[in-house]
């Protein structure tokens, strides 16, 4: 039998995806119309977890520091942005092959990777040669077409303008919104270098083959920072940010065993990057793959925007010296962080002779911080007291669940499955009816151990805040 708590079974991932659907974390996009590949909708609990991740990320990288500034740029940008950044060219294409029988399209580099061949940096002709040499077929066992470049940007049209003049793109990354606002932030905030600009927002990529749940989708959220430094100081700040990225992943509960850094080899680096580290997570059934990226992008982006727009991207020091800053870019995908957090938290064990599933989510990420319920829902004094406790905690924490369905055991199972760290039950003791010394105390049950403790109502906030 496979151990459900080891991290390398497909089984574990499919159980997690089922739980996420059943309990309102993630639904397939446009489900009633048969879905839409590469899109997923976040339900009430998914939104709560996502919001907690975004809030914690902002606290960690922006609010707790003095050198970070926030930004929220428009998703649709002037199309010249994407010419300057290189996204309209070959730099943002993936090699695509077609199944010659079914017409289904695949990423050629992924088919090669499945065979243990790294296709990074190979030309289309080299990919074709390998496909021929290794007799690589499509996953349906049919022959493959020649590889061709496929641009990942979604195109649209703005207003009623016909032809290419109205062509716009949905942004494929949030980063460029930061670069085009570099001057605005410098002019309005007068930041001292080094400083960073952070942004959280949607990005869109017309992935050839979306797959693996939230891992490779066509619409997703990114949390990105462009950190501007003097060229000669990039290594020092690279190390500092690298440590901060590690601290972030620990803060969201990911264990060191499931994380590793992959130093992208020099010959695989994007042309603008002098150093890139991918942070990889050990996804169940998939193994280590990219969770976040961290790149030293030199002055490539600001220089390009300066050339294309004619607007100076120079930073002027108090002594009047001018230079184009160099850039360090930590880039996180929210969906991949969401998946990693859930994978890490997923547990199965036996409690009171029954198999139970629970999510050992950190309290600062759990959709509900705590659940409150009256022992019996048809006893008005219990309900009234429970409502008082519920309102008190709700005022303090916000994300508090009211749960009075079924018996207490069922409520515990339900809250365990969505990762609520504590359940509070108001019983006859709370009312002082059984043992007067227990008046105004409640039962607090711990999700992970199942242990229960009596805690005075007046001490609940402090107890839960530990």
| Among candidate residues 306, 249, 274, the one with its CA nearest the CA of residue 85 | 306
8 A C-beta contact, residue 347 and residue 358: yes
**CA dist., res. 290 & res. 91, Å (int):** 19
User: In the complex, what is the shortest distance from the CB of residue 240 to ligand ATP, in angstroms, rounded to a whole number?
Assistant: 20
Residue among 216 and 305 whose Cβ is closer to ligand ATP: 216
Residue among 176 and 331 whose Cβ is closer to ligand ATP: 331
User: In the complex, what is the shortest distance from the CB of residue 333 to ligand ATP, in angstroms, rounded to a whole number?
Assistant: 2
The verdict on 200 binding ligand ATP (CB under 6 A) reads no
User: In the complex, what is the shortest distance from the CB of residue 216 to ligand ATP, in angstroms, rounded to a whole number?
Assistant: 5
Look at the block and give the residue holding tokens 């590949």. Answer: 37
The verdict on 177 binding ligand ATP (CB under 6 A) reads no
Question: Which of 12, 205, 249, 297 contacts ligand ATP by CB under 6 A?
Answer: 205
| Among candidate residues 148, 184, 8, 169, the one with its CA nearest the CA of residue 76 | 169
Spacing of C-alpha 246 from chain mean position: 15
Which one of 158-166, 237-245, 325-333, 449-457 is the stretch in contact with ligand ATP (CB under 6 A)?
325-333
- Phi, psi at 400, each rounded to 5°: -115, 135
Residue among 282 and 373 whose Cβ is closer to ligand ATP: 282
The verdict on 95 binding ligand ATP (CB under 6 A) reads no
Question: Which of 292, 302, 328, 393 contacts ligand ATP by CB under 6 A?
Answer: 292
Residue 51 Ramachandran class (φ > 0 left, ψ -120 to 50 alpha, else beta)? alpha
User: In the complex, what is the shortest distance from the CB of residue 292 to ligand ATP, in angstroms, rounded to a whole number?
Assistant: 5
The verdict on 153 binding ligand ATP (CB under 6 A) reads no
**CA dist., res. 252 & res. 262, Å (int):** 20
Sheet containing 155-157: give its strands across: 76-77, 167-170, 155-157
> What residues contact residue 142 under an 8 Å CB cut-off, 6+ apart?
99, 100, 101, 102
Residue among 28 and 191 whose Cβ is closer to ligand ATP: 28
Residue among 207 and 416 whose Cβ is closer to ligand ATP: 207
Helix (H) or strand (E) holding 223: strand 219-229
Question: Which of 25, 220, 346, 390 contacts ligand ATP by CB under 6 A?
Answer: 220
Question: Which of 95, 335, 367, 421 contacts ligand ATP by CB under 6 A?
Answer: 335
Chain residue at closest Cβ approach to ligand ATP:
333
Question: Which of 194, 293, 419, 421 contacts ligand ATP by CB under 6 A?
Answer: 293
The verdict on 290 binding ligand ATP (CB under 6 A) reads yes
What Cα–Cα distance (Å) separates residue 262 from each residue in 72, 111, 239, 240, 298?
A: 30, 21, 15, 17, 20
Helix (H) or strand (E) holding 149: strand 148-151
The verdict on 40 binding ligand ATP (CB under 6 A) reads no
The verdict on 282 binding ligand ATP (CB under 6 A) reads no
The verdict on 404 binding ligand ATP (CB under 6 A) reads no
Binding site for ligand ATP (CB under 6 A): 173, 205, 207, 216-217, 220, 222, 290, 292-293, 331-333, 335-336
């Amino acid at each position: 039998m496979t151990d459900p708590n080891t991290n390398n079974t497909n089984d574990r991932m499919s159980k997690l995806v089922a739980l996420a659907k059943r309990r309102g974390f993630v639904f397939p996009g446009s489900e009633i119309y048969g879905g839409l590949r590469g899109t997923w909708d976040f339900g009430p609990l998914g939104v709560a977890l996502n919001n907690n991740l975004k809030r914690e990320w902002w606290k960690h990288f922006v609010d707790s520091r003095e050198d970070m500034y926030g930004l929220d740029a428009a998703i649709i940008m002037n199309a010249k942005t994407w010419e300057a950044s290189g996204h309209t060219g070959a730099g943002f294409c993936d090699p695509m092959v077609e199944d010659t029988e079914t017409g289904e399209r695949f990423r050629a580099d992924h088919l090669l990777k499945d065979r243990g061949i790294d296709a990074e940096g190979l030309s289309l002709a080299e990919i074709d040669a390998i496909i021929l040499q290794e007799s690589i077929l499509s996953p349906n066992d049919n022959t493959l077409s020649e590889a061709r470049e496929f641009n990942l940007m979604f195109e649209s049209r703005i207003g009623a303008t016909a032809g290419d003049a109205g062509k716009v793109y949905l942004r494929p990354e949030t980063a460029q919104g930061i670069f085009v606002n570099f001057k605005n932030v410098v002019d309005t905030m007068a930041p001292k270098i080094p400083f960073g600009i952070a942004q959280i927002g949607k990005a869109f990529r017309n992935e050839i083959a979306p797959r693996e749940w939230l891992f490779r989708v066509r619409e997703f959220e990114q949390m990105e920072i462009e950190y501007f430094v003097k060229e000669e100081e990039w290594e020092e700040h690279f190390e500092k940010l690298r440590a901060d990225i590690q601290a972030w992943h620990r803060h969201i509960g990911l264990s060191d065993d499931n994380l590793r850094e992959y130093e992208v080899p020099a010959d695989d680096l994007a042309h603008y990057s002098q150093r890139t580290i991918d942070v990889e997570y050990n996804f169940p059934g998939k193994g280590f793959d990219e969770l976040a990226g961290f790149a030293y992008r030199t002055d490539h982006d600001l220089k390009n925007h300066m050339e294309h727009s004619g607007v100076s991207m120079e930073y002027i020091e108090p002594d009047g010296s001018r230079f184009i800053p160099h850039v360090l870019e930590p880039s996180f995908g929210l969906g991949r962080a969401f998946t990693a957090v859930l994978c890490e938290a997923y547990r199965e064990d036996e409690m009171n002779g029954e198999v139970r599933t629970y999510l050992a989510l950190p309290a600062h990420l759990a959709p509900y911080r705590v659940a409150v319920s009256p022992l019996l829902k048809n006893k008005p004094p219990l309900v009234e007291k429970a409502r008082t406790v519920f309102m008190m905690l709700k005022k303090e924490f916000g994300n508090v669940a009211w749960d009075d369905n079924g018996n207490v055991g069922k409520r515990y199972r339900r809250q365990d499955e969505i990762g609520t760290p504590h359940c509070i039950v108001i019983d006859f003791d709370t009312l002082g009816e059984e043992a007067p010394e227990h008046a105004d105390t409640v039962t607090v049950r711990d999700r992970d151990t199942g242990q229960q403790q009596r805690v005075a109502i007046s001490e609940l906030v402090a107890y839960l805040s530990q």
